[in-house]
Structure 1
Amino acid sequence: MLGLAHLDRPFDYLVDAADEETAVVGSRVRIRFAGRLVDGFVLERRADSDHVGNLSYLDRVVSAEPVLTPELATLTRAVADRYAGTMSDVLRLAVPPRHARTEARPADDIPPPPEPPDLAGWSSYQHAESFIGALGSGVSAAAPHAVWQATPGEQWPQRLAELATATAAAGKGTIIVVPDQRDLDRLVEACEPLLGDRCVSLTAGLGPSARYRRWLAVSRGTASVVVGTRSAVFAPVRDLGLVVVWDDGDDSLAEPRAPYPHPREVGVLRAHQQRCGFLLGGYARTAEAQALVESGWAHDLVADRALVRARMPRVQALSDSDARVMRDPLAHSARIPELAFVAARKAIAADLPVLFSVPRRGYLPSLACARCRTHVRCRACHGPVQLDQDRMGHGEILACRWCGRTERSFRCVECGGTRVRALVTGARRTAEELGRAFAGVPVVTSGGSATVTAIEPGARVVVATPGVEPVVPGGYGAAVILDTWAYLDRADLRVAEIAVRRWLAIGALVRAHGGGGELVLVADAGIRAVQAVVRWDPVGFAALELAQRAELGFPPAVTMASVDGLAADVTRFTDLIDMPTGADLLGPVALPAGVRPPAGLADTRAAGAFDDESADIERVLVRVDRRHGRTLAAALTEAQKRRNTKHETGPVRVQVDPHTIG
């Protein structure tokens, strides 16, 4: 566990006779390396060594618990190689810290397999029967891989719980990864009646004791189904039969710690190595998921179009041919046009809740210079600045959303202007406006730390930010998506994909059109992303998105790596890379807005250790054909080794297939 690229390899040590029984493969040990004691794991026990010279003895065995199984060791090594990282960094994500008192408790008895569940809910999807049959066959060569396109209004937690139960009934284990705690709570609620103690949840929010106790239950075989967030994909499930990743396009699944592995890619690696099933699911579809289907590695699980149309709400957008838009001359410029109010009033009259979705929480959370429209950024960390109400009651203040620093005297870096204007109206301001428009109707807000998980049926107005919309039994009568331009007005490769994913997730909360459900997108109906929602065609949109990226040379059609850091450090690092054949070097460019600086730079900048002019944070992109992706990762790893041997310590972040390219 040395964490340095040039030391990222196994080292041989002698085992004392007293440790013969406890120094088992996978156990934690302490070793002396370069004069200091460090933590490590036993990867292999051998009678000989390739090392020429004298070997040292293990200092001591910390625990005889085999926490690093051979399968997990192979997986973490593969992930490190895939993402140009070190195995020790991956192990920190995969194996939780030891809790001695918890480890000393005896293991519980392994429960018998559950009864096979009712799988009638999966009958709506083509090829689902053969997929589930292959999972229960127990033949590793038949391990199925699929991408599941959930229909509007689908109770996905129940479907995944049924799938995990069917896999457990066949004597196999399951891992289900979801983006956040809200999704996890819904999934646990669905799994408990079917699986009981066979299912455990793993999240970073658990305390050390609880997390390690549940992790040991999985490692010892007591629990065979794991549900959790990002790092749960590494859970040491015995006889693994299925890995599921739900909503792989969610930003919450982007790992913020090196080497930044995505659970989707880890799941693909694990399915390949352990010959188990793999399922990507969601209301929307990413280009990466579509690439798995088009390559033939995964198959589609989709419903018939007639069923999709029957379950989807009526979707409306601003079209010049719509008579209601023609009657409203301000429809394209008004924040809430007439057709949105008509849909909302209709739902409220039917005693149904209405959802208004806004892209940001707060009051006025997105600002620009009133003169030249340049985005307002923090002078300390270059983070986004918002206008909010002062908690002390002293009016409105400008404050950074990253470091919290307040801006007392704003001056635009482009034109010198001193006034700001709002780009997006936040949830609280929207709630105030709607409270006046729908007098006497209760208004509920959900966003930030004040999230509402669920609401009771009945007429009310709900104002929520994306991802924290309350669930209502039976679905919303109507949903209105405001400020749609804010979803699309970003310099990001995935901007349209993200917008479609969020809009479809909101639409999935609305009743079917047969029950009066309406989804209003306050956006031009001619926009491609809007059309994908109007037609409810995530598969077609993903296929077109993938084709365009292939034509332009962007992931996932190619492998792309980013190198972020101070200009001088980035230049020196790229000079150390042995570029693979056909590699393209793009940049340097400024670090994209919304991307945090590499670790070690943000705090230094905020502390005023250097000024902005002499400390530009840059990004360089390296692009290669997908077939040479592993070669590029190896070249980046070798460059990091050379950098370490030269004792260059400036913060540089290296990411393979970064989530945000800009």
Structure 2
Amino acid sequence: MSSENERAEGGAEGAPPEQLALIRESVRKAAAPRAKPRTWRGAALAAELPVARVLVDKGVLHLDRYFDYAVPAELDADAQPGVRVRVRFGAGRGRVRDGRREGGGLIDGFLVERRADSDYSGPLAALAQVVSPEPVLGEELLGLARAVADRYAGSLADVLQLAVPPRNARAERRSAPAPLPPPAAPGPGTWERYAHGPAYLESLASGGAPRAVWNALPGPEWAEELARAVAAALASGRGALVVLPDGRAVARLDAALTGVLGEGRHAVLTADAGPEKRYARWLAVRRGSVRAVIGTRAAMFAPVRELGLVALWDDGDDSHSEQHAPQPHAREVLLLRAAQDGCAFLLGGWSCTVEAAQLVESGWARPLVASRERVRAAAPLVRTVGDGDLARDEAARAARLPSLAWQAVRDGLRHGPVLVQVPRRGYVPRLACAVCRAPARCRHCAGPLEGQESGAALRCGWCGREESGWHCAQCGSFRLRAQVVGARRTAEELGRAFPAVPVRTSGREQVLDTVPGAPALVVSTPGAEPVAEGGYAAALLLDGWAMLGRPDLRAGEDALRRWIAAAALVRPQSAGGTVLVVAEPTLRPVQALVRWDPVGHAVRELAERAELGFPPVSRMAAVAGPGEAVAEFLRTAELPPEAEVLGPVPMPGTPAGRARRPGAPPAGEHWERALVRVPPGSGAALTTSLKAAQAARMARGGGTPVRVRMDPPDIG
């Protein structure tokens, strides 16, 4: 070849210099080795960054990593980071034929990154399809999802299933509206009732990142106060995100935001909107058309641009805890977002959890509270009826309500509606023998018998069978007494006592949002209390022992939170508002309600938990499953040296005929649960060790399942 090149150059002697240079360049190109274009099954691959790093939608821990795929040239333009893709994955993916990797079933995934080369030495399978060119997974959302997965010992794919809603093609075809300019900074409004309220809004509006735990005053003003905080964040040119416990709270904040900001400045993300509308709103947020988001717990992952504020209302509500793996809590997710984005944080509620008290105690957040004079002016008068009062009360022995309760109801009905909170739904959910007090059980499954409306047969709460000929297996008596009276029975009794007054019920079957301000009796289960126009004239909180007697670490905190949520709907004491709680007055939660001091109650609870080494001072994990499987898991897990294992102890099973509770063992199986706790600072090490042990167990396959949950809400 070299001799041919020399002859070609020699034959060109006497040629002009420009022509001679062209001849030499053509000779050089002809002599250079030709690189074959990269192909897959005969198809050309992308010229630049031909490798796609993909997160497959497989929520198993031993596959919690990225997989590399080749990018065909025809998919090069659409295969950008953040888009949804489909790839071949499975047993066939490991088969190589004619130097090409092929086979496997199609599975969804997210394209995370484009790369020039792969760490994998073998041939790569190619992307099968780009589902949509819409990038839905940005770097911030991916980083947040990874942080949540690491904190809860879960997989990244499981977190993204919670964070990214399912695709809707019609919603993607909609054009995004142009973003509106930032609004003007709002005035303080009712934030002036709090010592540092106006300063908090000023800091938000000026681009600051204040962090506060807000103990809201009773009354309906909380929604407007949250709306003003959102408006202040928008005024600084940033976004805002508020997570609320239920649709009713979202509707109230939605109305308040519309009044403060006007239409089109915020998006509502709830499941009630339907798949298409919810995905369209989510896309508007991701594209930057809307900068403020409110919603229930699924909104905690909303991809708000330039996030300036994250806020959470009533963090003690159970609905903030996700039931799907890895079961994150909205409060912890928003704390991670505040740390990741350096934005402001606001945790608000009428009550106060120990987690909120710890944020203040550690100095991470500042308290945002009103003076005691303001609290006394806004709160109703709270009175108690204890066991001693009930023993001396003839009316209480003959009927369910003490004389003081009847008097409070009568006085309240003269001025407006009266709220009656009953901790149990149904008619008579618990019955016992009137002679020996033995619980009334079903003859078929030993489930608890429940009373229905007057004249109806008894019914089993587990299998649903009716029982018409019950008699006590212990003493043979045919007489029954109510152990617990439900909301429907209470409404029936009150209806007979006050025949001229309308009686409304609000509970699982039908939850009322509002009721008129006219005199009426409103019987509600905790959390379903409707808002009365102008506030309730009085509230009656029955059967306090039923909430305080639960064998759970949070029983007192939850009871106080539910009582305060109901009492906050009552008019102030200056307007005649009265609350009567039927519970032992000497108990700490009852005293906190009388003084309207939820913060003091939370601080004392936090101090006791610190002494005992319980959460939130320590990090804790629950390991549940069949006894042998739990024991083997704990033996193989490389727990931190400071880890302490409590248990295992038997778990209550799922009764036959009843729906299985999240995390409960299947019907007929006997499980055990062990608690693993570590001191502050060792939570990450505990999570890493449990995740590694679970991944190794899944990789081996064929074993009995073991469930791991970080920060379990119930450890009683």
Cα offset, 1:386, TM superposition: 5.7
Q: Distance in 2 between matches of 1:598 and 1:653?
A: 14
Q: Residue 444 of structure 1: which of 499, 504, 527 is its match? A: 504
Question: Mapping of 1:15-94 within 5 angstroms?
Answer: 15-34=71-90, 35-94=104-163
TM-score w.r.t. structure 2 length?
A: 0.84
Residues 498-518 of structure 1 deviation map (CA, whole Å, 9 limit, x = unaligned): 000000111101111010000
- Structure 2 CA distance for aligned equivalents of residues 446 and 334 of structure 1: 23
Residues 1:632 and 1:486: Cα distance change in structure 2 (over 3 Å): same
Read off the aligned partner of 1:337 and give its amino acid letter: P
Are 1:389 and 2:436 matched, yes or no?
A: no
SS where residue 42 of structure 1 aligns?
strand
SS at match of 2:115: coil
Shift in alpha-carbon separation, 1:601–1:480, aligned structure 2, 3 A: closer
The 1:651/1:99 distance shift into structure 2, 3 A limit, reads: same
1:216: Cα distance to partner?
0.6
Scaled by the length of structure 1, the TM-score of the pair is: 0.91
Name the stretch that deviates more: 579-588 or 230-239: 579-588
Question: Does residue 306 in structure 1 map to residue 370 in structure 2?
Answer: no
Structure of greater relative contact order (alpha carbons < 8 Å, 6+ residues apart): 1
Query: Which secondary structure does the structure 1 equivalent of 2:240 belong to?
Result: strand
Contact 1:372 / 1:415 at 8 angstroms: preserved in 2?
Answer: no
Amino acid aligned to 2:60? L
Give SS of 1:627's match: coil
Question: Match for residue 260 of structure 2?
Answer: 194
CA shift for structure 1 position 422: 3.3
Q: 1:316, 1:259 → 2: CA distance?
A: 43
Query: 1: CA distance between counterparts of 2:129 and 2:229?
Result: 44
Residue number among 295, 299, 306 corresponding to 1:228 in the alignment: 295
Give the match for residue 151 of structure 1.
Answer: 217
Cα separation, 2, equivalents of 1:593 and 1:330: 40
**Alpha-carbon separation, structure 2, partners of 1:7 and 1:325:** 61
1:240-255 counterparts in 2 under 5 A?
240-255=307-322
Match of 2:630 among 570, 576, 601: 570
Q: 1:609 maps to what in 2?
A: none
Could you tell me how far apart the structure 2 residues matched to 1:293 and 1:205 are? 35
- For the residues of structure 2 that align with 1:593 and 1:617, how far apart are their CA atoms? 7
Conservation of the 8 A alpha-carbon contact between 1:136 and 1:166: yes
Which protein shows a greater Rg? 2
Measure the CA separation in 1 of the matches of 2:611 and 2:156.
34
Contact 2:176/2:287 (CA < 8 Å) preserved in 1? Answer: yes
Give the letter for the 1:636 counterpart: L
> Which AA in structure 2 matches 1:646?
R
Q: Does 1:365 align with 2:429?
A: yes
Correspondence 1:643-654 to 2 at 5 A: 643-654=697-708
Structure 2 match to 1:657: 711
Q: Describe the SS at the equivalent of 1:659.
A: coil
2:696 maps to 642
Measure the CA separation in 2 of the matches of 1:234 and 1:413: 54
CA deviation profile, 1:104-162 (whole Å, cap 9, x unmatched): 22222212222332322111112223322222222xxx412111000122421111111
| Amino acid in structure 2 at the alignment position of 1:80 | A
Residues 240 and 413 of structure 1: CA distance in aligned 2, closer, same or farther (over 3 Å): farther
After superposition, the Cα gap between the structure-2 partners of 1:543 and 1:593, relative to the gap in structure 1 and judged at 3 Å, is farther
Cα offset, 1:206, TM superposition: 2.8
Alpha-carbon separation, structure 2, partners of 1:414 and 1:647: 47
Structure 1 residues 24 and 405: CA distance shift in structure 2, 3 A: farther
2:488 matched residue in structure 1: 428
- Residue 695 of structure 2 is aligned to residue 629 of structure 1: no
The answer to whether 1:137 aligns with 2:206 is yes
Q: Are the aligned partners of 2:163 and 2:302 in contact in 1 as well (CA < 8 Å)?
A: yes
CA distance, structure 2, for counterparts of residue 631 and residue 162 of structure 1:
40
- C-alpha distance in structure 1 between counterparts of 2:255 and 2:265, whole Å: 14
Instruction: Work out whether residues 597 and 617 of structure 1, in 8 Å CA contact, stay in contact via their aligned partners in 2.
Output: no
The one-letter code sitting in structure 1 at the alignment partner of 2:258 is E
* CA RMSD in angstroms, aligned pairs only: 2.8
Structure 2 residue identity aligned to 1:159: E
Maintained 8 Å contact 2:542/2:581: yes
> Which residue type is aligned with residue 335 of structure 1?
R
> CA–CA distance in 1 between the matches of 2:477 and 2:86?
59
568-577 or 68-77, larger mean C-alpha shift: 568-577
Equivalents in 1 of 2:621, 2:242: separation in Å? Answer: 28
The equivalent of 2:22 in structure 1 is: none
Which residue identity is paired with 1:21?
A
Instruction: Tell me the distance in 2 between the aligned counterparts of 1:500 and 1:565.
Output: 33
Aligned AA (1:169): A
Residues 374, 412 of structure 1: 8 Å contact kept: no
2:50 match: none
1:486 aligns with 2:546: yes
Query: Quick check: 1:369–1:417 contact (8 Å CA) kept in 2?
Result: no
Alpha-carbon contact 2:323-2:662 (below 8 Å) kept: no
Q: Distance in 2 between matches of 1:9 and 1:534?
A: 53
1:259 aligns with 2:326: yes
Structural mapping, 1:513-592, within 5 Å = 513-591=573-651
Q: Distance in 1 between matches of 2:473 and 2:391?
A: 39
